[in-house]
Chain A
Amino acid sequence: MADFSLFVLATAGIYTIFSLGLLVQFGIAGLPNFGNGAFMAVSGYAMAIGIVKLGLPMIIAAPLAMVAAVLFGLLLAIPTIRLRSDYLAIATVAAGEIVRYLALNLEGLTGGAAGTVNLLGPGQAADYNFEWLRLQNWMQDGISHLFHVRAKPDLAFCCIIWPVALILLAIVDAMVRSPWGRVLRAIREDQEAATALGKDVFRCKLQAFSLGAALAGLAGLFLAWQVSTFTPDDFKPTITFYAFVIVILGGKTNVWAVPIGSLLFTIIFSGTRFLGFWPLSLFSSGDKAFLRLILVGLALVVLVIFRPQGIFGNPREDAVET
Chain B
Amino acid sequence: MLEYAWVVPAITFTSFWIILLFGKKLPMKGAEVGIGALVMCFVLSVALSGAWISRTADLEVEAHKTVETGEHGSKTDDHGGESDSSGDHGGGGDHRLVLPSPAPLVMGAAEGGEGGHHSYIIREPVQKEWTWFSNGQIDIKAGIHIDGLAVALLFVVSTISLLVHIFSTSYVHGDERFTHYFAFLSLFTTGMFVLVTASNTLQALFGWELMGLCSFGLIGHWWEQYPNARAALKAFFTTRTGDVGLLVGISILFFAAGETFDIASTNAAAIAGEIPDGVLIAAAAALLVAVIGKSAQFPLHTWLPDAMAGPTPVSALIHAATMVVAGVYLIARLYGVFWEAFDIADGGFNAIAIVGGITILIAAALAFVQRDIKKVLAYSTVSQLGFMVMALGVGAWTAAIFHLFTHAFFKACLFLGAGSVSHSGSHHSFDMVADMGGLKKYMPKTFWTFATATLALAGVPPLAGFWSKDEILLGAGENGYTFFLVVGLVGAFMTAAYMTRCVYLTFFGEPRGAAAHHHPHESPSTITIPLIILAVLSVFAGLLNAPGILKFTEWTDNITVITAGMEHHDFSIITALFSVVVGLGGILTAYAYYWKGFRVGVLKYDQGISGSIYRFLGNKYYLDDLYEKGVVAGVSGPVARAAYWINQKVLDGVVNGAGVTARGLARFVYEILDQKVVDGIVNGTGYASEGAGAGLRVVQTGKVQQYAVAMFIGVIAFAGLLVVFV
Do A and B come from the same complex? Answer: no
Chain B contact residues, CB within 8 Å of chain A = none
